[in-house]
Amino acid sequence: MQTNLRGRDVIDFSEWTRQEIDTVLDVAFELKRDRALGRPHPLLRDKVLAMLFFFSSTRTRASFEAGMAQLGGHAQFIESRTTQIAHGDTAKEIGEILGRYNDGIAIRNVDWLVGNKYLRDVAAASRVPVLNMQCDVFHPHQALADLMTIIERFGDPRGRTATISWACAASYQKPISVPQSLALLLPRFGMNVRLVHPPEFSLLPEIVEQAESEARRAHASFEVSHDFDAGMRGTDVIYAKSWGALRTTTDEAEGAKLIAKYSDWITDSRRVGLASEEAIFMHPLPADRNVEVTDEVIDGPHSVVYDQAENRLHGQKAVMALTMG
């Protein structure tokens, strides 16, 4: 148990030690038990979290707001387009000013080649912790909730296999931050990770290299494949979602053509049948139903998508309690 996390930023959990992440998990499961038992835990009474959104949200906004209320504090919703942020407030000014008004700053900015730098610029100017609600590179709180869900289902995840796979979804070029955070976090807990995607949908090479290094350190495996079915065979965790071909093209029309080229990359009952008998299907939601995944799978017995969504609340409460307390 680490007791020195007050004031720490959470932009990427790779910047935290394994022992520090274990502390977050311990607190998250404790707070989840407290909520199940109706035990109040106002650990952040009179504290205020600024929540700055450059991109729309459902689960992220709802879970952070609910979490702050359950911890006895207040979440301040700030939308970039309806404030002076859209007309000139700099990252330094936001860090300096919101850091003086509030006890924490949470930011969602997924603009490609912009979001992560913006968060780090705010953090450099802020006197309070900055929490990443998703940027163009990382989605740490989603990965934390996903890891919690895997632990709940399997216990110690060491030796289990997780397939992080691209899936077709033509709604827009979605960020690559979810698969990247998962690829970095799961190997640290001894999981064998298969990253599966068409050639045009690669992740940042430095992220893949770091994930391979984490796997070696944990005596686990990390492999990259372009064969969807092969990636499913015998796996314990099916994490299949869409992300954009952002390293190939940032043009939306070109990206849509590439996505359409792989319309058969859908998680259906046949592909789930290739996995282990106790395999779970995971997705951060919202899913493009019957494009990314069939109704039969996402609503079926293998699906844990609502457990994942719930664990966003508990994991984020642990982070806030530890860093803002």
Which residues sit opposite 161 in a β-bridge?
192
The answer to whether 238 touches 281, Cβ cutoff 8 Å, is yes
Q: Tell whether the torsion through CA atoms of 215, 286, 38 and 74 is positive or negative.
A: positive
| Full-model pTM | 0.97
Nearest to 176 by CA among 252, 111, 251: 111
Domains of the chain and CATH, by start: 13-139+312-324 (3.40.50.1370), 140-308 (3.40.50.1370)
Distances (CA, A) of 298 to 178, 181, 183, 243, 267: 18, 22, 22, 18, 9
CB-based contact 54:109 (threshold 8 Å): yes
Residue in 272, 168, 185 with CA at minimum distance from that of residue 229: 272
Neighbours of 206 (CB within 10 A): 10
SS3 at position 6: coil
| The residue count for the chain | 325
DSSP symbol at 85: G
Given a contact cutoff of 8 angstroms between Cβ atoms, the answer to whether 207 and 138 are in contact is no
Q: Which pLDDT tens digits describe the chain residue by residue (325 residues)?
A: 899 999 999 999 999 999 999 999 999 999 999 999 999 999 999 999 999 999 989 999 999 999 999 999 999 999 998 888 888 899 999 999 999 999 999 999 999 999 999 999 999 999 999 999 999 999 999 999 999 999 999 999 999 999 999 999 977 789 999 999 999 999 999 999 999 999 999 999 999 999 999 999 999 999 999 999 999 999 999 999 999 999 999 998 999 999 999 999 999 999 999 999 999 999 999 999 999 999 999 999 999 999 999 999 999 999 999 999 9
Cβ distance 213 to 206 under 8 Å? no
The span from the CA of 279 to the CA of 268, in Å, is: 13
